[in-house]
Chains A and B, each alone.
Chain A
């Protein structure tokens, strides 16, 4: 094959390219999808110790790549045709295991594709593999996965965050050009922050939840995890849109998120919630956020202080509502129709009890217990209903704050990546990892994390950008402008 720029796109350097660059290379036939996929499969193989993937089916991926190449050849391709994407193992994939990080589903092969997977298939993307995650997306460190924790490529002694830790580590270590995640209380943004990548949780209803295994239905939302805002925009173009199979998806037109990336941010009003800069915030994190805000000031943005007075209620509110929904959502894992079933039992009730005792890990069981309690007769009003009221208050805070600003900024996580085991014995300390992200889910708003610097141990720090309902285009634009003048997002951990 004649390759006019072959020297620029050597297979060995493919992993350094952005999606836009890869797209150009594929569409101009400088590389084939097969070569690109093979290169990534080899990288995944070489870095298996990160434990970022639960399932990789090389033969299947390469076959899909060949189909993509045929499509590229026929001219039926679009922007992402032939690009391999890592999928969080929470999205059901037809014929390939979907485990949700749980023993309960370790043997589960879905007979259908999630809407998100269908959309990537329709775009001609290659399914590179299924990424590791906290069990049923319940965790902030990836330590609750039945398949073992994922290592943070910046520091292998540290967690990558969670629950989308596998996707985050894969993108950070350049084992995949891009990945998907899901975010119920911060599960895209917090691991994105802890691994130095760009992650976007869209507005509730923007991306279909059909085929995305439910944790807490009113909070769950799928979104892109990528190297840059531009890459995230390309992914969101594929993922977003109304789905008649998801009654909570919203029937609004999907803009081309790449079109507005370059719009000026001069005059942009950035709201700084004073509650996000108080007790608990690491000093180094605080300093990095300040520096990022200075950068925005240089770009012509204005920073105004806003207040989210009910922020402190977000964690207790979330830890009633999310477990309540989870306790019901996870009732279907009963050993009757699919998934794990205890090998020995005397009767139906023992089968249920043993199956669920053995099939679920400790954190999942903890949340099922909390949720069951919160919904029980006599406690429902005090917990569930009260939490619903708090949720409206928290949502109202954002409405008022957005009267004074266009986006809200702050830290994504109070700390950088922490060491394995440092919070596993203290669930509440673990839950506090999501203190800045959770209220965004409760309000159904879009939120983003972009890399903004490092701490003294070279662990990444994320800047969170929160937008108005359905204002993803603005978030991506604001993030992109920052990434045009900074290079944090281009930094790669040593050895990758």
Chain B
């Protein structure tokens, strides 16, 4: 028997549902009367990599946090595979900007990645051999196998970002929310991350990534959303239209 985290139960996705449907979402931070996002709507089909672009302060991180369930909406709805936020914790992985982790904490890369299994284990159950095997496979895929025993602060920025992505893979999430994973990342890490994201797309997973790197946007993404001052200004498939954002 599993005692899962959170008040809601472990629910299956609605068959054939879209990965993400956001309808007239308004979000703000407590203490600030003005919302950061105003009536933003977007839909994301499964098997698509989508870029979320826009200047600093346009609300990219806020949008990702709302979908991750970290910020309650003031108005509007978010459906993830047809279910409300929180109904399917295990399906959503969120990679915050590096600052949210205490990197000096005494935990190894392997153990940090293993935490991706916790959502499937719930209270009182310990990770087993099967969980550890999955971790090993993912560490190899992300080129971290030689660093598995290192304390997490002994990694470069790119390696730390790969470790966070490894945790999301181990979680077997279907919707990945990535907040600027490519800033302060070396070329090798960037190539590995690109490759993994392409593979995830091929497996039918969906990716929503806040990014500033627009130079290869048409190769790396199938969709792009542009946020400007809290509003979704345009949804572009024809990517050259994004120049100048």
A complexed with B:
no
List the interface of chain B (C-beta within 8 A of A). none
Interface residues of A (CB under 8 A from B): none
